[in-house]
Each structure stands twice: as structure tokens, then as C-alpha cells.
Amino acid sequence: MKAFIKTIFMIKKIIFSKKEFLLPLKKNILLFDENGKDQINYSKIIKSDYVILNTRYEKINLMILFYSFFKKNKYSNYLYLNTYIEYCDPKIIITYIDTSARLIEIKKNFEKIIIIFIQNGYRQKRWNKSFALIDNKKKIIDYYFVQNENWQNYVKDYFFKQVYTVGSITNNNFKYCSNFKQIKSVHWVSQYRKNNKNNLEPILLKYIKKICLNFNLSLEIILAHKSKYKDEVKFYKDIIGECVLQVDSYNAVNEESLIVGIDSTFLYESFARGFRTAFLTVRSTQKDCDESYNFGWPGKYSKDGNFWTSELDEQKIFNIFKYLINISHSKWKNEIANYESIMHYDPGNKFIKKYLSKITK
């Protein structure tokens, strides 16, 4: 029964996907999954053209589909992906989905192809579950470009031959905060998810709204979803009423901003770029979460610091805001230097461009 339901699900996906009628182009580089295409193109980290293998049924290449089916008289997504790669015969496969266990399994069939993972977000221990059935001792993936030194140290014993810290390839395109102005606005970094069981944002935002009134600051919400965000907007209006909404996160922050949130990747990116940033990592205290939701994990840090706290305590949050509002630019630069292992910043992506240039040659 399960197999039948799974087959019906796949057929439905194929029917409603976009169709490609010609065989794919053959390029030396293949991007495994379309997710990350925009970031890679914007960052200009790859100089050569590449072909995209859509892995989530966004597009189906009918020629590859038929060929994969007739190879074993059945269809499976795994067989389709293998057939696509076999036909394209790339020298390098790059993925921005660094939780892709499928690609590790596929690599076993294409030992000569260089596989490159690029980290796309901050990780918790649940990352391990993606690879639960993979033998960690076998160094099968050629390169992993990660965002910070703490994560590099954590994954070095996994299945990656070489791991390099290069920062966030998106964040590296945006300017560093070179000076401070008096803070005028607080930017809350939304992590809104529908039906989130551990949603602490309503409590935190009520505290923050009071603090903003105390310091005469405006409160702005950096939305998590740039499209289909009606539910998200309603969620915040129900908590704090009318507020300014931002969709362009990287350009929304400036020298007059105080950025605050729970444990979003964007918080770490903003911190690395020199903006005054508050981490309210209170999710780590919830029973369904674990230590990997702590500030700076997998690094080892105390539960409270000058600009972070793991406790749902209004006074501690107030003290963090007061500290960040009054801190000088030079002292903040020292704070960043002390915690630079939580997120690397490489303006212009010089490191990953250098590495990829050598690999592609």
C-alpha cells in the first residue's frame, strides 16, 4: 500500500512539473538542485557555464525520464538523477544543499566526479539525521565550503576530504559596517513558521516593544518569506500592531540599526559584517530542542553574554539592548574579533573564488 501511494505521489509530481523535451546540455559543471542558483550567480563564484539538475520535480527532462525508466523498467527519483548525471558526464558537481544525503549515495556511482558542498545556513544537530545511514568514516565528498570555523571543526571527522571556511557566499557580497550612528531602529529577524510548536516570538516581541518605547526606537520586522507572506504579516500585526515590514534583509540593516532575533543565520551574518546584533537564543531552553540551539554552537559559550542570552528574562534582554545602544564602534570591533569563529566574513568571496578556480582547472 505504501509503495502504491508513493508511486501515485511521484506520478502527480511528474504530471504537474515543467517539462523539458530536449536532452540537457553537457557542461563540465553541474549544479545539483536549483536551490542556490541565485546566490551562486550573484556571488560570481563560478566563472564557467553550468547545467542545473532539478531534484524536486520543478522540471522533468522527458528524454532522461524515458531513458531511466527503460533501463530497469521502473521509475525512481534516484534512478532519474543518476541517469541525468550519467548523460551529462560533468567533471564537477556543486550543491548548495549541504544536507543532501542523496548526493553522497550518488557519488558512489561516479567516483571520478568531484563533489562540492556549500553550506547554506547555520546548522543544528538535526543536520546529523540527514546522514544517519551514511558511513562517516568514508571520506567520499571532495570539498565542503563552510561558513565558520566552529562548524569546520565539527564536520572535519565526517565524510568530507577537505573542509574550508569561506563565510556565507551571500553575506560576503554586502558591505561591512564601517562606522556607527545613533541607533534609531530595531530590526527583528523573523523566523516565522506556520504551526511552529516552539514559537517564542510573541513573548519576546512584547518585551522588545516595551524596550523600543523606553529608548524611543522604531521596531521593524525583516520578514522570513518574500512571497506568500500574508500569514506572516498577520502574525506580527496581531502581536505588536502596525509596524514597518522589510523584505530585503541584507540591505535593510544600516549603521543606525540594532539587529535582534533568536538563532537565524542572518543574525550571524549581520554580526560578521559589524552590525550591532543581539542573539536571544531562548529556543535552546525548550524541551523539544537541544544544546545545538545555543549561541554559537557547536562552539562552547556561556548561556549569557554581553549581546546574547538563553533565558526568557526581560531584564537580561533590556541589559543587552542598553549595552549595544551605548557601545562604541572600536569596542564592538573587539567583541567581533573575540567571536569571529561563529561566522567568517570574506568581502567579495575571494577565498572560495580562489579555491574553485584551482579546482575547475
Residue extents of the structural domains in the chain: 2-172+348-360, 185-342
3-state secondary structure 78-143: HHHHHHHHHHHCCCEEEECCCCCHHHHHHHCCCCCCEEEEECCCCCCCHHHHCCCCCCCCCCCEEE
Closest by Cα among 136, 135, 50 to 91: 50
Residue 314: is its pLDDT beyond 90?
A: yes
What is the per-residue pLDDT across 177-207, written as a single tens digit (0 to 9) for each? 999 999 999 999 999 887 765 578 889 999 9
Task: Map residue 38 onto helix, strand or coil.
Answer: helix
Alpha-carbon span 322 to 307, nearest angstrom: 10
pLDDT band at 5 (very low <50, low <70, confident <90, very high): low
Cell readout for 48 is 564557467
> What pLDDT score does 253 carry?
92
pLDDT band at 323 (very low <50, low <70, confident <90, very high): very high
Residue 10: is its pLDDT beyond 80?
A: no
Residue 3: is its pLDDT beyond 60?
A: no
CATH number of 185-342: 3.40.50
Assess whether the region 2-172+348-360 and the region 185-342 belong to the same CATH fold.
yes
What is the per-residue pLDDT across 143-169, written as a single tens digit (0 to 9) for each? 999 999 999 999 988 889 999 999 999
Sign of the four-CA dihedral 258, 263, 264, 265: positive
Domain 2-172+348-360 fold is Rossmann fold (3.40.50)
> What pLDDT score does 6 carry?
62
pLDDT band at 278 (very low <50, low <70, confident <90, very high): very high
User: If you average pLDDT over residues 114-129, what whole number do you get?
Assistant: 92
> What pLDDT score does 289 carry?
82
Residue 91: is its pLDDT beyond 70?
A: yes
> What pLDDT score does 360 carry?
84
With beta carbons less than 8 A apart as the criterion, state whether 24 and 88 touch. yes
Percent of the chain with pLDDT over 70: 94
